[in-house]
Amino acid sequence: MALDLRGRIAFPLLATRPLFRRNDVLSNYRVAIVGGDGIGPEVIAEGLKVIEAAGIGLETTEYDLGGSRYLQDGMVLTEDILDEWRSFDAIYLGAVGTPGVPPGVIERGLLLKMRFDLDLYVNQRPFKLDGSHDFIVVRENTEGAYAGEGGFLRKGTPYEIATQGSVNTRMGAERAIRYGFELAKTRNNHLTLVHKTNVLTFSGDLWERAFNEVAEEYPEVETAYNHVDAACIYFVQDPQRYDVVVTDNLFGDILTDLGGAVSGGIGLAASANLNPSRTGPSMFEPVHGSAPDIAGQQKANPIAAILSGAMMLDFLGEQNAAAKITAACDACLDVTGSTSEIGDAVAAKL
Ligand code: IPM
Ligand code: MN
């Protein structure tokens, strides 16, 4: 028994506990969890395990959404759930997509609806190459060919017409571009615009003008431009030329799968769907899909999901924990084993 200076019984544990409690509360974030389909729930479980091991308290609420939920009762996402999410600090999502669900139902009804309605206008996807080089793709996340413009005429007849336009607003392009410049400023002051201005002479022109005009506000940032087809070659043969890349939604979708492929595989590629103005939660998810062929077998690599969790912590202001988790993942790239064994190995490095 410990006595204090006046001879009273001292309770060091009781004395210190309120402090720990207060710390817990300070680092408590409200996070909506959407494990989703296929390997999604398995990889998210590992991300949550690692976040806990990093000492960050999350108050999580799970949502059973995705293709399998849709097959059960037809529910994709309601306005009520979206409204509920608006008061959360972040959304942590595994993957969506289930065989048997018509294309677009879950993608448009859940994932794109989240991106659009929560105004997650930047999709930030970092890539690390062997050695020391890394670069980041800033993908515009609310417009372009994803906007849903278009339709059918005379569907099912020999004269059928389908159009699917690309919607580009000056505001939408400019805010993604501006984010790219700001990000470049925190790194190596180099930003590349990727588009296809030689063919897409309307949308490409809008993007190029917005890029050049915003560039004048950032004289310290060196700029470059690549057509998207050429960028595909450079991603494979000369990715060192990139620091930050900014591009439209569809080009960004395709380029970031390529980015994953040239930087250790899609199993490592993380992403952050950001609302940089922080008027609501941002959403964090691995780039990969639900991989139904290996679902439930503990075969998926959880590193992309764990790194997406680190991006979430970073955005929430927990830079230290985020950096520690990222370093732990880097140290575990050669670890083989089940999904949960890889998660355990990363957690053990913290
Ligand atoms: C991605 C995915 C999604 C996209 C799909 C699932 C709708 O491929 O996040 O890259 O095309 O944006
Ligand atoms: Mn994609």
pLDDT per residue as tens digits for the range 251-309: 999 999 999 999 999 999 999 999 999 999 999 999 999 999 999 999 999 999 999 99
- The residue to mutate among 77, 98, 111, having the most atoms of ligand 1 within 8 angstroms of its beta carbon, is 111
Predicted confidence band of residue 192 (pLDDT cuts 50, 70, 90)? very high
Residue range 67-87: average pLDDT? Answer: 97
Question: What b/e string do you get for 189-205 counting C-beta neighbours within 10 Å, with b at 16 or more?
Answer: bbbbbbbbbeebeebbe
Residue 253 Cα, ligand 1 centroid: separation in angstroms?
A: 7
Residue range 32-56: average pLDDT? Answer: 98
Q: Give the model confidence (pLDDT) of 102-161 as tens digits.
A: 999 999 999 999 999 999 999 999 999 987 899 999 999 999 999 999 999 999 999 999
Q: Across all residues in the chain, what is the average pLDDT? A: 93
Residue 249 Cα, ligand 2 centroid: separation in angstroms?
A: 10
Predicted confidence band of residue 347 (pLDDT cuts 50, 70, 90)? very high
In SS3 terms, 3-17 reads as ECCCCCEECHHHHHH
Which pLDDT does position 28 carry in this prediction? 86
On the question of pLDDT at 26 being above 80, the answer is: no
On the question of pLDDT at 316 being above 90, the answer is: yes
Residue range 21-32: average pLDDT? Answer: 66
CA–CA separation, 128 vs 134, rounded Å?
4
Residue 252 Cα, ligand 2 centroid: separation in angstroms?
A: 8
Q: What is the pTM of this model?
A: 0.91
On the question of pLDDT at 12 being above 50, the answer is: no
Q: Where are the beta strands (DSSP E) in the chain?
A: 2-3, 9-10, 29-36, 58-62, 90-95, 122-128, 134-140, 151-153, 161-163, 190-195, 222-227, 244-247, 270-274, 282-286
User: Where does residue 17 rank: exposed (0-12), middle (13-18), buried (19+ CB within 10 A)?
Assistant: exposed
Q: Give the model confidence (pLDDT) of 212-261 as tens digits.
A: 999 999 999 999 999 999 999 999 999 999 999 999 999 999 999 999 99
Give the closest residue (by CA) to ligand 1 atom 5.
107
Which pLDDT does position 131 carry in this prediction? 76
Give the closest residue (by CA) to ligand 1 atom 8.
253
pLDDT above 70: percentage of residues in the chain:
92
On the question of pLDDT at 19 being above 50, the answer is: no
On the question of pLDDT at 24 being above 60, the answer is: no
